[in-house]
Amino acid sequence: VGETAHHKRVVVVGAGFGGLNAAKRLSGHGLNILLVDRNNYHLFVPLLYQVATGNLGEEEIAGPLRQIFRTRRDVRFLRANVQQVDLKQRQIVTDAGPIDYDYLVLAPGSVTNYFGNRAIQQQAYDFKALDDAAALRSHVLDMFERATHAANPEQQQALMTFLIVGGGPTGVEFAGALAELVRHTLRRDYAQLPMQQAKIYLVEGLPSLLAPFPDRLRQYAQRRLERLGVEVRLNTLVSAVEGEHVQLKDGTNIRAATLVWAAGVQAPPLIETLDAPKACGGRVSVAPDLSLVDHPEVFVVGDMAYREQDGQPIPQLAQPAIQGGHYVAEVIRRQRERGEQVPPFRYHDPGTMAVIGRFAAVAALPVLSLKLTGIVAWAIWLVVHLYQLVGFRNRIVAMLDWGYDYVRFDPPVRLITGGTAEQTLAISQKE
């Protein structure tokens, strides 16, 4: 549509933080841009846990891509699954057919790493997609529904026990939000249940939570979670999972009907099949301008690009992906197309944050080396996340939902949807 032979075609794979921002910055410069994603929306991944705990609806953290690019005529969108990249033919293979490119920007993000444990993969909930978060919300609520008519106290206890693996920001944020949901909201909804028996474990293999944060902030996060009733187990690994029995390496066996896995990411299948040098975690080793060493027309941005800066790998976070997307657009426009010099990619860290329930967060900001906790950090977190949500409507609706919830302790989304009944039935039948 509107494509002309003399305009070069840039294919962008993935409309997450990296791909979306690359496509936006490429637009308006005489290129034909094709944005390919298996979903027809851009997802604001950092707020998935809010969907899983009923604080936000699915549509509030996602923006339809055709709407986002409606006014940019040089950006077309294709909903397709990209299966392979043929670097020699300069072609991607998709379930909608092959597509040629002059430039390729790969930004497919990462997938959950189960460290090869199939049992955990089958049993656990994770947080990579919108459906996962909605399914987890339904599952959590369904556990309490089932607990109201459990066959015996042991089964009831298992249904009300939640084990979260991974003490990074995702695990910490979910644990905090789940604890508040149970403590303030579900306690009222399920007055007949012994809610003081509901248990939330947060299991982390390292000696502390939130490993990349300064020590004081880590300690604060742990204290705060413990105050919310979360049992934090450090230096602890999961060794086996069988049904609702979770075996920890220290020998403890916890009976939990819910296992949530937030313990790391790895390369998606598309990157595994890419014929390019790889670094740790299956990430692609990229040149200083984020291109492939032997293919200057192919770029990798976001979670899958591996580069070190000041002796450390650039982290797998939203900001490096956004900045990488902006940067490769500039390299394609200015360096490749016009022969201008563009300095190597350099990531500027605006700071990292994690929220721990209502009115509490930790924020490590490079500005003045600020290390903030409590309500101040939480207020910064709130403003930053509202600002980053795609679309004016999403910001307004999210603000209203949060406002109502914070005042009334009443998250707006408490619907059980989808096919959780069969899963939980299987648990009951094991009794």
Ligand X SMILES: Cc1cc2nc3c(=O)[nH]c(=O)nc-3n(C[C@H](O)[C@H](O)[C@H](O)COP(=O)(O)OP(=O)(O)OC[C@H]3O[C@@H](n4cnc5c(N)ncnc54)[C@H](O)[C@@H]3O)c2cc1C
259 three-class SS: strand
CB of 192 to ligand X, least distance (A): 33
CB of 219 to ligand X, least distance (A): 20
CB of 129 to ligand X, least distance (A): 8
Cβ proximity to ligand X, 127 vs 220, nearer residue: 127
Q: Does 405 bind ligand X (CB under 6 A)?
A: no
Residue 345 DSSP one-character state:
P
Q: Does 108 bind ligand X (CB under 6 A)?
A: yes
List 138, 156, 161, 170, residue binding ligand X (CB under 6 A): 170
CB of 354 to ligand X, least distance (A): 7
Cβ proximity to ligand X, 43 vs 286, nearer residue: 43
Site for ligand X in 236-275 (CB under 6 A): 268, 270
Q: Which residues of 21-41 are buried (b: 16+ CB within 10 A; e: fewer)?
A: bbbbbbbebebbbbbbbebeb
User: Are residues 138 and 184 in contact, defined by beta-carbon separation less than 8 angstroms?
Assistant: no
Q: For residue 253, give the H/E element and its range.
A: strand 253-255
Q: Does 321 bind ligand X (CB under 6 A)?
A: yes
Cβ proximity to ligand X, 246 vs 260, nearer residue: 260
Return phi, psi of residue 46, to 5°.
Answer: -60, -15
CB of 170 to ligand X, least distance (A): 4
Nearest alpha-carbon partner for 167 in 120, 207, 118? 207
Rg over alpha carbons for the chain, rounded to the nearest Å, is 23
Site for ligand X in 68-87 (CB under 6 A): 81-82
x/- binding map, residues 330-369, to ligand X, per CB under 6 A? ----------------------------------------
Q: Which residue has the tokens 């990798």?
A: 300
Binding residue count for ligand X, defined by CB under 6 A = 33
Nearest alpha-carbon partner for 166 in 132, 204, 133? 204
Pairwise CA distance, residues 45 & 403, whole Å: 21
Cβ proximity to ligand X, 114 vs 127, nearer residue: 127
Nearest alpha-carbon partner for 283 in 127, 111, 114? 111
173 given a catalytic annotation: yes
Cβ proximity to ligand X, 285 vs 428, nearer residue: 285
x/- binding map, residues 279-318, to ligand X, per CB under 6 A? -----------------------xx------------xxx
CB of 387 to ligand X, least distance (A): 13
Q: Which residue has the tokens 């740790």?
A: 280
Q: How far is CA 269 from CA 1, 146, 282, 389, in A?
A: 30, 37, 10, 28
List 117, 121, 319, 423, residue binding ligand X (CB under 6 A): 319
Pairwise CA distance, residues 63 & 17, whole Å: 12
Scanning 14-22, 114-122, 153-161, 191-199 for contacts with ligand X by CB under 6 A, the matching segment is: 14-22
Sign of the CA dihedral running 384, 389, 391, 394: negative
Q: Which residues of 97-129 are buried (b: 16+ CB within 10 A; e: fewer)?
A: eebebbbbbbbbbbbbbbeebeebeebbbbbbb
Contacts (Cβ under 8 Å, ≥6 apart) of 270: 13, 82, 83, 84, 85, 106, 108
x/- binding map, residues 120-139, to ligand X, per CB under 6 A? -------xx-----------
Position of minimal CB gap to ligand X: 16
Pairwise CA distance, residues 164 & 200, whole Å: 8
x/- binding map, residues 15-54, to ligand X, per CB under 6 A? xxxxx----------------xxxx---x-xx-x------
Given 3, 59, 60, 173, which residue is catalytic?
A: 173
CB of 369 to ligand X, least distance (A): 19
Residues that bind ligand X (CB under 6 A): 13-19, 36-39, 43, 45-46, 48, 81-82, 107-109, 127-128, 169-170, 268, 270, 302-303, 316-319, 321
Residues that are catalytic: 173
